[in-house]
């Protein structure tokens, strides 16, 4: 545990290194006793899930579920209002997201899928948690800063400023002890750990109530989009899981590269070419260096053809399942209602215990 108590004074690089080491340790513990772990992860319902989600965390969730870990998947519909204001697409986006999860291999008979707005107790934890962090601490969160810049909004809403605290409630309401994340989420996880610690110090010093969750980094902590910036739907640079093979080809053909014919994996000097290699390598389950050697000096056109083929091959079974689920809205709604029922039962217990610990049970 003590290895991950990185504070805000450590640099991003060193906290990432510790997270990598810690991830390896946790992997070994999961293999030995998967039933000791409860995973909580989530995504904002901002439209179709894409390759960044698949390799960032989705594939990892499915793997953990299949190892026997309890997996809770949150559709972060309150978090989504931090950076967009068109709620009319929400019902379609949420059901689409459930379909994406199931197509990618989430099994609703084992995993729970639910949304923020369905779990009142989760949201109520935000209040005591807000009292445990300072404005200065929140101002330092690099991910929030980046998202604010990307959103091009003129001012930052108080919800956007505090959403990492809400995210701590996502994780702690169900006592999740494992959070598979991409690199950009590490700061939020560190805040969650801080909140758990401070809650215990203030209200439960004899018997710590919340345990500090561990992050689990996947092999592709940060997959870039086709323009060389973070892959994200709002930037129009992402390949959706539900895209057709032709759309996939079109998007990847337009990806930024460089004029050097010899293809090499060199993320520092050649971020765009290396990102395509990484994507192809993840799909083929080989190393990016191996893929680069196969291409040799055939240039970026060959690189792109190879990556297009690899992506379409990897996504073919997911897309087949996704097409079967499209239009089965009643079924998808039932999955969500069932997941929410189970999550609510857990959240109600936590909130009752928190109120007790805070001397608010009258
Ligand atoms: N912030 C995450 C994202 O933007 C989504 C998210 C919400 C999440 N709650 C979470 C991730 C809890 C992990 C754990 O992708």
Average pLDDT per block of 10 residues along the chain, 362 residues long = 39 65 88 96 92 88 96 96 80 95 97 98 98 98 93 92 98 96 89 98 97 83 80 83 96 94 96 95 95 96 97 97 94 98 98 98 90
Q: How far apart are CA 142 and CA 183, in angstroms?
A: 11
- At 209 the three-state DSSP class reads coil
- The residue whose CB lies within 8 Å of the most ligand 1 atoms, and thus the one to mutate among 47, 49, 55, 74, is 74
pLDDT value at residue 1: 36
pLDDT value at residue 257: 94
pLDDT value at residue 123: 98
Question: Beta-strand (E) ranges in the chain?
Answer: 38-43, 70-75, 112-115, 178-181, 214-217
Spatial CA neighbour of 342 closest among 33, 5, 40 = 40
HSE value, Cβ hemisphere, 13 Å, CA-based, for 100: 27
- Residues at CB less than 6 angstroms from ligand 1: 40-44, 74, 76, 79, 167, 170-171, 179, 181, 185
180 alpha carbon to ligand 1 midpoint, in Å?
10
64 alpha carbon to ligand 1 midpoint, in Å?
17
pLDDT value at residue 3: 38
- At 230 the three-state DSSP class reads strand
The pTM of the full predicted model, rounded to 2 decimals, is: 0.89
208 alpha carbon to ligand 1 midpoint, in Å?
25
CA of 180, closest atom in ligand 1: 13
CA of 76, closest atom in ligand 1: 7
pLDDT value at residue 225: 87
């Amino acid at each position: 545990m003590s290895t991950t108590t990185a504070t805000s004074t450590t640099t991003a690089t060193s906290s990432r290194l510790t997270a990598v080491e810690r991830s390896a340790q946790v992997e070994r513990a999961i293999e030995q006793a998967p039933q000791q772990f409860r995973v909580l992860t989530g995504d904002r319902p901002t439209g179709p899930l894409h390759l960044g989600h698949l390799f960032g965390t989705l594939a990892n969730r499915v793997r953990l579920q299949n190892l026997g870990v309890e997996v809770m998947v949150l559709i972060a519909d309150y978090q989504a209002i931090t950076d967009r204001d068109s709620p009319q697409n929400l019902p379609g986006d949420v059901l689409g997201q459930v379909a994406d999860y199931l197509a990618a291999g989430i099994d609703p008979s084992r995993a729970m899928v639910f949304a923020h707005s369905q779990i009142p107790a989760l949201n109520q934890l935000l209040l005591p948690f807000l009292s445990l962090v300072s404005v200065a601490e929140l101002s330092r969160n690099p991910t929030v800063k980046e998202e604010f810049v990307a959103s091009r909004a003129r001012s930052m809403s108080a919800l956007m400023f505090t959403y990492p605290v809400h995210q701590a409630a996502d994780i702690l309401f169900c006592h999740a002890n494992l959070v598979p994340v991409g690199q950009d989420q590490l700061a939020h996880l560190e805040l969650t750990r801080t909140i758990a610690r401070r809650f215990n110090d203030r209200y439960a010093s004899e018997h710590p109530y919340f345990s500090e969750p561990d992050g689990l980094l996947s092999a592709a902590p940060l997959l870039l989009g086709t323009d060389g910036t973070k892959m994200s739907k709002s930037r129009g640079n992402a390949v959706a899981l539900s895209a057709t093979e032709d759309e996939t080809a079109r998007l990847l053909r337009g990806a930024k590269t460089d004029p050097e014919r010899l293809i090499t994996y060199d993320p520092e000097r050649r971020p765009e070419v290396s990102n395509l290699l990484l994507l192809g390598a993840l799909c083929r389950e080989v190393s990016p260096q191996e893929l680069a050697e196969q291409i040799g000096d055939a240039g970026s056109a060959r690189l792109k053809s190879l990556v297009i083929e690899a992506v379409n091959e990897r996504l073919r079974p997911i897309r087949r399942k996704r097409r079967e689920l499209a239009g089965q809205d009643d079924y998808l709604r039932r999955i969500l209602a069932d997941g929410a029922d189970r999550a609510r039962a857990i959240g109600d217990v936590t909130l009752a215990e928190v109120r007790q610990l805070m001397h608010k049970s009258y």
